[in-house]
Each structure stands twice: as C-alpha cells, then as structure tokens.
C-alpha cells in the first residue's frame, strides 16, 4: 500500500512507554493526555493525524467528525467496541487493534475468576481481614469433573479451555464461526446454546460485544441453566445482561458471578457489584506488564508499518467485517 503521512499522534490512555518510544524513533511527534472528557477530546483531536487508545476512550462519531486530519485510530488491545468504526470508515480513517497481545492475560484472569468463584477466595480473604476465622461459611466445590461452557471459541476461549481442562473440567462450547472439527482438537465439544445452557456448572463468555451478543445471557437463558450455575464475564459488559444477572443471583438460579467488565465503567450498578456472590475487578483482563508491553509495541509497529507503506496488519477496514471477528483483521502486504 502507499505510505501514509502521520506526523502527530495523541495517546489518550495509559499505554506502555515502548509505544511512544517506537513512534518517536520513527519521527512521529507524540503527546500523551489522559482522563480527557469527551469535550476535551473533541477540542484536542483536530491537531492530530493519529490517535492511540485503550478501552476507556470513547471514539464516537462526534469525536471522529471533529477530527479534521485523523488518518488512524490505533487500539492497543483487542475490543474495538469503544470506536465508532462506521463513522471512521466513512471518513476513510483506518482503525487497527492488537488482537493477540493480551490473549493470555485475559485467559488467565478468566481462570482466576472461575477458581475464585469455586472456592470463595475473595470473600474468605475479606473475612480474614475482618478478624474472622470462618471455615464453614466458605465451603467450596471442586472444579474437577465439572462442566464449563465457553461461549465464543476464539483466541481467549481456546486458552481458557486448555487451562481449565488441566483442572479436570469438561469443556463444551458454542461459536457460530469456529468449526466444531477445530474445537474438537482443543477438547471442546460444540453444541447449540439451547443444548449448552442446561449442561453447564460454569459458563464463561468470550465474544466481542456487538448487537448479536448483547444480552446473550438473559432472563430466558438463565432460566434454561442448571440451578446455581456460576458465570464469568471477562469479555465485555452487557454480553451478560446485568439486570437479568442480578435477578438470577437473587433467586439463586445463578450461584455466583465473576465480572471484569461492566456496561458502564466504573459500574453504576452497585447492587450487582455489592452482591455477596459477585466477585469483580475493574477491567483488569489486559492489565499485566506482559500484555501491555505487547500491545504497546504491536500498535506502534503497525502504525510505523503503515507510515512506511509496508502493511496493514490488524486493520479493521469496515464495520461489516466486525460482524465476524474472524474476518476482522486484514493483512495486506
Ligand atoms: N477483560 C479484558 O481486559 C479483555 C477483554 N477482551 C474481550 O474479549 C473478546 C474476545 O477476545 P478474543 O478471544 O481475542 O476474540 P476472538 O475474535 O479471537 O474470539 C471471539 C469469538 O467469538 C465468536 N463469536 C462471535 N459471535 C458469537 C456469538 N453470537 N456466540 C458465540 N460466539 C461468537 C467469534 O466467532 C470468535 O471466534 C474481545 O472482543 C474483547 O471484547 C479481550 C481482551 C482483554
Ligand atoms: O483488549 C481489550 O479488549 C480489553 O478489554 C482490554 O482493555 P484495556 O486495554 O485494558 O482498556
């Protein structure tokens, strides 16, 4: 592809310092400004031809339309649901992400939440800090022999499967794109969601957030689950409907939830976070030194490649492609 001139980039979140270093070494001027309001970003963006974000910056149509010179939006991470890709595409702005940089970290946090749910580790730790020694209250259950349903069998779903298999869990799953013959080689038996819901002791979701996955786990699907099913959402807030989850927790249809992500971050739904059977994190799936270093480096190198006219690895070229994350990334050399 033809080289694209990028002179000034705004990094609007805490991205690993290697990103700035690589960009600067390649002659790009970099400004870092965090915690900007939407109005601040709208006022600021017109001065830049590149923007690097994580998940907190909402790159809405307003922001994109205010950006006279913007040529690229780089997402140092996986999900691009915080970027209006349609609006960017209309303006010819390239959106690219670094989809594999945080896979292992997100999978590890998912497994941590699954295990914490089974043994009440966060609740027990809080009880200890309060001076208690309560061995009866925190009776747990083994993971061994239990059934884990994995909804979304992409990069992270696959890594979660292999890790939880090592604890003796049986892994089943559903994905409309990854073929069952492929997941069978990872030890994951695929079936329809209707078949999956009633079988699972634990369910974890690993799809992107899009219209077809919003509220995937809702009142109707919870009603089809085993009583006491435990659920984890380390993907995106809203894939498990938060109001339905609270209702299921209150009726004990759901026995516990591990949540890393929320519809609004920080979450306004305090009843959910404060529920005794909910353990939660402030969107920490990708927050490891290793994942941040990879994502920071990958996004910088991808931008430099683009400036050099080398390739378009990781470009989200149209919103249509987003419908299926399998086809989200074009590689044009
Ligand atoms: N908590 C965190 O910090 C992190 C969260 N994430 C989230 O995890 C999501 C998944 O990441 P990856 O595994 O890397 O993506 P991926 O693209 O490799 O896998 C997603 C899978 O979901 C499948 N899928 C799409 N629609 C579906 C549906 N209706 N039902 C079931 N499966 C469906 C796709 O076919 C694909 O195989 C990201 O989109 C992002 O939102 C990713 C990294 C860190
Ligand atoms: O990569 C993703 O999709 C994530 O959710 C990680 O988000 P973050 O970069 O930590 O704001």
The pTM score is 0.94
CB distance 297 to ligand 1 below 6 Å: no
Residues of the chain with pLDDT under 50: 317-333
Burial (0-12, 13-18, 19+ Cβ within 10 Å), 32: middle
Question: What does the pLDDT read at residue 328?
Answer: 35
CA of 252 to the centre of ligand 2 (A): 31
User: Which residue CA neighbors atom 7 of ligand 1 most closely?
Assistant: 235
CA of 99 to the centre of ligand 2 (A): 10
Ligand 2: lining residues by beta carbon, under 6 Å: 54-56, 77-79, 102, 283, 285-287
- Helix axis angle for 17-25 and 289-307, nearest 10°, is 20
Report pLDDT digits (tens) over 110-137.
Answer: 999 999 999 999 999 999 999 999 999 9
As given in the structure block, the two tokens for residue 95 are 């959106």
Whether residue 304 contacts residue 50, with contact meaning beta carbons closer than 8 Å, is answered with: no
Question: What does the pLDDT read at residue 311?
Answer: 60
CB distance 64 to ligand 1 below 6 Å: no
What span, in angstroms and rounded, lies between the C-alpha atoms of 303 and 35?
A: 23
What span, in angstroms and rounded, lies between the C-alpha atoms of 168 and 232?
A: 18
CATH 3.40.50.720 domain span(s) along the chain: 8-101+289-321, 103-280
User: Which residue CA neighbors atom 2 of ligand 2 most closely?
Assistant: 78
**The architecture CATH gives domain 8-101+289-321:** 3-Layer(aba) Sandwich (3.40)
**The architecture CATH gives domain 103-280:** 3-Layer(aba) Sandwich (3.40)
Question: What does the pLDDT read at residue 111?
Answer: 98
Question: What does the pLDDT read at residue 130?
Answer: 98
In the sheet with 202-205, reading across from the earlier edge strand, the strands are: 188-190, 170-174, 147-151, 202-205, 229-233, 254-259, 278-280
Question: What does the pLDDT read at residue 313?
Answer: 54
CB distance 213 to ligand 1 below 6 Å: yes
Burial (0-12, 13-18, 19+ Cβ within 10 Å), 165: middle
Report pLDDT digits (tens) over 221-234.
Answer: 999 999 999 999 99
Question: What does the pLDDT read at residue 102?
Answer: 98
Task: Name the residue of 175, 197, 200, 262 whose CB sits within 8 Å of the most ligand 1 atoms, as the mutation to test its pocket.
Answer: 175
Question: What does the pLDDT read at residue 55?
Answer: 98
Question: What does the pLDDT read at residue 315?
Answer: 57
> What is the interface pTM, i.e. ipTM, of the complex?
0.99
Question: What does the pLDDT read at residue 165?
Answer: 98
């Amino acid at each position: 592809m033809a080289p694209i001139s990028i002179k000034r980039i705004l990094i609007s979140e805490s991205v690993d310092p290697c990103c700035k270093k690589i960009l600067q070494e390649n002659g790009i001027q970099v400004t870092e400004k965090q915690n900007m309001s939407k109005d601040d970003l709208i006022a600021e963006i017109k001065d830049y031809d590149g923007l690097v974000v994580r998940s907190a910056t909402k790159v809405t149509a307003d922001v994109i339309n205010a950006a006279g010179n913007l040529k690229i939006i780089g997402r140092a991470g996986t999900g691009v649901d915080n970027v209006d890709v349609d609006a960017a595409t209309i303006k010819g702005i390239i959106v690219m992400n670094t989809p594999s940089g945080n896979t292992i970290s997100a999978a590890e946090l998912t497994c941590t939440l699954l295990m914490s749910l089974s043994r009440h580790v966060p609740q027990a730790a809080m009880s200890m800090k309060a001076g208690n020694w309560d061995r009866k209250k925190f009776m747990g259950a083994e993971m061994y022999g239990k059934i884990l349903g994995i909804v979304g069998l992409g990069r992270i779903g696959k890594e979660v499967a292999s890790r939880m298999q090592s604890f003796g869990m049986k892994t089943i799953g559903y994905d409309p794109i990854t073929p069952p013959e492929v997941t069978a080689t990872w030890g994951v038996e695929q079936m329809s969601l209707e078949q999956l819901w009633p079988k699972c002791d634990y369910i974890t979701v690993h799809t992107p957030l899009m219209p077809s996955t919003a509220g995937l786990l809702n009142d109707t699907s919870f009603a089809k689950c085993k009583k006491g099913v435990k659920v984890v959402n380390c993907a995106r807030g809203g894939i498990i409907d938060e109001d339905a989850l609270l209702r299921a927790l209150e009726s004990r249809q759901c026995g516990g939830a591990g949540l890393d992500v929320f519809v609004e971050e920080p979450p306004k739904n305090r009843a959910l976070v404060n529920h005794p059977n909910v353990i939660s994190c402030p969107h920490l799936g990708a927050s490891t030194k290793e994942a941040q270093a990879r994502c920071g480096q990958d996004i910088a190198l991808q931008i430099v490649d683009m400036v050099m006219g080398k390739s378009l690895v990781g470009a989200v070229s149209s919103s249509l492609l987003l419908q299926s994350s399998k086809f989200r990334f074009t590689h044009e050399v």
